[in-house]
């Protein structure tokens, strides 16, 4: 029986990515963009957990949360808040089954929070997280975040590792730039976009010993991680 997530988000593209990503990890997602319509969806879907964007048309996330609390006093609620919002206000809600995540957030972070809130034991959440992947001359240890080649071992940072995972998961397929941005950075704004460029450059540099591995740019669209 899948875990049901009620996800309230008005940004269409981000919503789509997050939804798909949650579904790919086995969650059942019920989505709504309009704060005023959440309550009826709540009643119908009977979710296990709610993820609410605070900035919504018609009704903000806090109001929605209050209404939900009238129906169910125990369900965990996770708020998504913009960076600009004062954390004090949010912290007030950080009690009573509530948690909050600052936007932008990575999928990894959202999954961690959801798992925590639901006390999912040992949730490997469908990740490839276990051992290691081999790519050309390299061995990529997911858990340890290291990349080993005949020449030695290199430690990857979290972002580097996440990007490489994503590339590998979509090897020989085109991945949309915006999709990467939304998954790793939580939005596809201009600055994060440049950020991705920087990380792609780093991964390319790390993988340059093996010419059979190549991250090909599809200008205006995304990348393709070519490997035989």
Residues that bind its own copies (CB under 8 A): 74, 82-84, 86-91, 94-98, 106, 108-109, 112-113, 115-124, 129, 143-145, 157-158, 172-174, 176, 179, 214, 216-219, 221-222, 224, 226, 228
* CB-nearer residue toward DNA: 129 or 157: 157
Give the Cα-Cα-Cα angle 17, 20, 179 (nearest 5 degrees).
30
Residue 198 interacts with which of its own copies, DNA, none, CB < 5 to 8 Å by class:
DNA
Edge-to-edge strand ranges of the sheet holding 174-176: 174-176, 222-226, 214-218
How far is Cα 65 from Cα 188, in angstroms, rounded to an integer?
A: 27
Q: What residues are paired with 31 via a beta bridge? A: 7
Return the structure tokens found at 23: 């579904």
Instruction: Write down the number of H helices and E strands in the chain.
Output: 8, 12
How far is Cα 89 from Cα 186, in angstroms, rounded to an integer?
A: 22
* CB-nearer residue toward DNA: 2 or 92: 92
Residue 113 interacts with which of DNA, its own copies, none, CB < 5 to 8 Å by class:
its own copies
Return the structure tokens found at 64: 């929605």
Residue 119 interacts with which of DNA, its own copies, none, CB < 5 to 8 Å by class:
its own copies
* CB-nearer residue toward its own copies: 32 or 51: 51
**Three-state SS at 146:** strand
Number of shown-chain residues binding DNA (CB under 7 A): 29
Residues 100-139, one symbol each (x = binds DNA by CB under 7 A, - = not), give ----------------------------------------
How far is Cα 22 from Cα 5, in angstroms, rounded to an integer?
A: 9
Binding site for DNA (CB under 7 A): 39, 66-67, 70, 155, 157-160, 177, 185, 191-195, 197-202, 204-205, 217, 219-222
């Amino acid at each position: 029986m899948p875990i049901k997530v009620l996800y309230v988000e008005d940004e269409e593209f981000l919503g789509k990515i997050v939804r798909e990503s949650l579904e790919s990890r086995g969650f059942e997602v019920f989505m709504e963009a309009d704060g005023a319509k959440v309550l009826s969806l709540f009643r119908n879907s009977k979710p296990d957990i709610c993820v609410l964007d605070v900035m919504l048309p018609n009704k903000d996330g806090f109001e929605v949360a209050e209404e939900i609390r009238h129906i169910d006093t125990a369900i965990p609620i996770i708020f998504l808040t913009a960076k600009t919002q004062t954390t004090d206000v949010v912290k007030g809600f950080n009690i009573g089954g509530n948690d909050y995540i600052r936007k932008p957030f990575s999928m990894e972070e959202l999954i961690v929070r959801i798992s925590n809130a639901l006390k999912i034991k040992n949730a490997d959440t469908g990740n490839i997280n276990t051992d290691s992947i081999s790519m050309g001359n390299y061995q990529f240890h997911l858990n340890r975040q290291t990349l080993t080649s005949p020449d030695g071992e290199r430690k990857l940072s979290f972002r580097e590792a996440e990007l490489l995972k994503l590339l590998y998961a979509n090897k020989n397929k085109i991945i949309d730039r915006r999709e990467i941005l939304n998954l790793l950075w939580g939005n596809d704004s201009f600055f994060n976009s440049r950020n991705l460029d920087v990380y792609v450059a780093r991964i390319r540099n790390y993988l340059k010993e093996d010419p059979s591995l190549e991250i090909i740019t599809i200008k205006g669209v995304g990348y393709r991680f070519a490997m035989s």
